[in-house]
């Protein structure tokens, strides 16, 4: 057993690990993107890769585009809706009262009389 200080998979005098083992890096190009908060980010891409239309801003998370004067709009955050809110979008209060009255009538008729 060793002292635990050695890097696993290496030996003394092995030389630097990296570029020589991986090969040459592809030619790169940096592209500027701006978000609605005017944060600029410059990710690099392989020169022959397709550049995406949008990029997520690493500072605020908004979408960023390549046109500094016309960045994409931030996404709209829809508030959380409960099941009841969705039901109220489809039914009026009068519909709800009628459905409740029908359900109560069925319950009253279904229970045994003691």
The answer to whether 75 touches 63, Cβ cutoff 8 Å, is: yes
pLDDT for 87: 87
pLDDT tens per residue across all 114 residues of the chain: 555 555 566 666 666 655 566 677 789 999 999 999 999 999 999 999 999 999 999 999 999 999 999 999 998 888 889 998 888 899 999 998 999 999 999 998 887 766
The two three-digit tokens of residue 11, written as one number: 């030996």
In a domain, 30, yes or no: yes
The two three-digit tokens of residue 95, written as one number: 């519909």
CATH number for the domain spanning 42: value is: 2.20.28.270
In a domain, 17, yes or no: no
Please, what is the end-to-end C-alpha distance for the chain in angstroms?
83
- Domain containing 57 equals 26-65
The residue to which tokens 């004067």 are assigned: 69
The total number of structural domains in the chain stands at 1
Cross-strand pairs, 45 = 29
In a domain, 58, yes or no: yes
Q: Looking at the whole model, is its pTM more than 0.85? A: no
């Amino acid at each position: 057993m060793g002292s635990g200080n050695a890097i696993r998979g290496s030996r003394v005098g092995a030389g630097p690990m990296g570029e020589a083992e991986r090969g040459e890096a592809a030619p790169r190009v940096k592209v500027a993107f701006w978000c609605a908060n005017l944060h600029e980010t410059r990710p690099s891409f392989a020169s022959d890769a397709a550049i995406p239309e949008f990029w997520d801003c690493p500072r605020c998370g908004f979408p960023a585009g390549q046109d500094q004067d016309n960045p994409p709009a931030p996404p709209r955050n829809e508030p959380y809706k409960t099941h009841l809110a969705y039901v109220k979008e489809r039914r009026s209060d009068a519909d709800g009262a009628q459905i409740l009255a029908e359900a109560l009538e069925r319950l009253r008729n279904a229970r045994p009389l003691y």
